[in-house]
A = this chain, B = another copy of it.
């Protein structure tokens, strides 16, 4: 199962150098086009000799295979190849390529390459590509393909097979077939397996699913993916604004959508702006500018907690040891809040629950929060006492109550107790807020994956620090009021 891309590259370059055309054909028979294309990933696309050497592939190997190979190359590599092929070769490559892939590439190529491709496409194909280019990113229209099979509702099973056999090879899938009536309305969806199981003289509309799902060209691709997952679809019809069939989306494109949407959510959770492409394909400067904005925004959002800490400087001046808990307290609040918000964001994204289930989720999360905060704060008390006991944290001997003869363990207990109650309050609130924010953010139509993280950290910092400092001031007053 291990693919040895280095070996493929070596074999291929060797064969190309020696003009061993039999061997080249052999390589394309034995390896998947994506593996061959990827084996060339490290090659310098500005190396004219390499490009020149590769061109014969497009003359020797079947266009159905070279088009797949071509589609897996880097855009810069594709450009060079298009420029080196003659018009006839470009036409054959374009003919075999699927329109939705061409539309995607065209957005990356320079104008002269795009011109050469469109000039060599058939009029139909050109129209389809232009149509696909018109849809907004991340909509059903932008991921659909226009190469599908439609059958008339009056056909028999035998007639359907005839059509499929004659034009099926140009379609993206023959596993799902679309049935139109004479008015060009979509009236049924037929799976190839139903066709196989049917009798030749049956009418296709009788065995078709007339209760089928469709999406609109503007439907968000994430919603389309949800439908595929929920109903185990193989393909879905895409309708335009006039409710006419205008394209289809197949499961293999949806697998890519699911991965892309997941990457986007994961990037958002790590406060990285969506990359739009893989890490390797994203240039250094673009990567840096995906990271910088959030780092700066998060720093600015800290203004509140900085101001708050400044207001309580006098407490830290009284006993510097209280400052050593600041980072741990804020970390715990942020961690526990993001545990909850992440579970809720994921639940909403995978449709485990919906916006209307808010109170059910809140009640559940409240009970979870009670358990987590109780157990964690019991631990916290022991943890703090331990750190005092083994001198990881020291109370300066010039702390007025100590200098005045109060026992040190009373200071330990007071500080540990304050930290413990702060942790209890922080975890309880962080889970409730963490469960609520994603609902609120979805309700106002923002992306909860992007907005929740920074918001919850900021809010929790403020709550945690306020609780901690107020409790400290209170316990200082109660226990050692007469010393200050």
Contact = CB atoms under 8 A, between A and B. Distances in A.
Contacts of A164: 196
A343 B272 contact: yes
A313 B30 CA distance: 68
A171 B380 CA distance: 56
A379 B291 CA distance: 14
A346 B284 contact: no
A197 B175 contact: no
A461 interface: yes
Interface size class of A (residues with CB under 8 A): 35 or more
Contact of A323 (B291, B309, B392): B309
A268 to B, nearest CB: 10
Contacts of A135: none
A32 B229 contact: no
Contact of A292 (B346, B376, B461): B376
Contacts of A302: 327-328, 331
A211 B299 CA distance: 55
B396 A313 contact: yes
Interface in A303-347: 303, 305-307, 309-310, 313-314, 316-317, 320-321, 323-328, 330-332, 335-336, 338-344, 346-347
Nearest to A394: B310
A445 interface: no
Interface stretch (A13-21, A44-52, A256-264): A256-264
A321 B317 CA distance: 9
Q: Specify which of A265, A285, A305, A335 lies most central, judged by the most chain B CB atoms within 10 Å of its CB.
A: A335
A43 to B, nearest CB: 14
B338 A270 contact: yes
Contacts of A392: 303, 306-307, 310
A279 B342 contact: no
A317 B396 contact: yes
A335 B293 CA distance: 12
Contacts of A272: 339, 342-343
Q: Specify which of A230, A327, A361 lies most central, judged by the most chain B CB atoms within 10 Å of its CB.
A: A327
Contacts of A279: 343-344, 346-347, 352-353, 361
A124 interface: no
B306 A371 contact: no
A248 interface: no
A321 to B, nearest CB: 6
Interface string A263-287: 1011101111001001110001101
Interface string A427-458: 10000000000000000000000000000010
A111 to B, nearest CB: 29
A250 to B, nearest CB: 9
Interface in A397-445: 427
5 contacts: A279-B347, A291-B336, A295-B339, A299-B379, A313-B394
Which 10 pairs from chain A and chain B are nearest by CB?
A270-B342, A288-B371, A309-B324, A313-B320, A262-B262, A279-B347, A232-B252, A278-B352, A302-B328, A323-B323
Given A280-B353, A292-B372, A294-B339, 13 more contacts: A1-B223, A32-B230, A32-B231, A175-B175, A192-B193, A266-B346, A270-B338, A270-B339, A275-B343, A279-B347, A280-B352, A310-B394, A323-B323
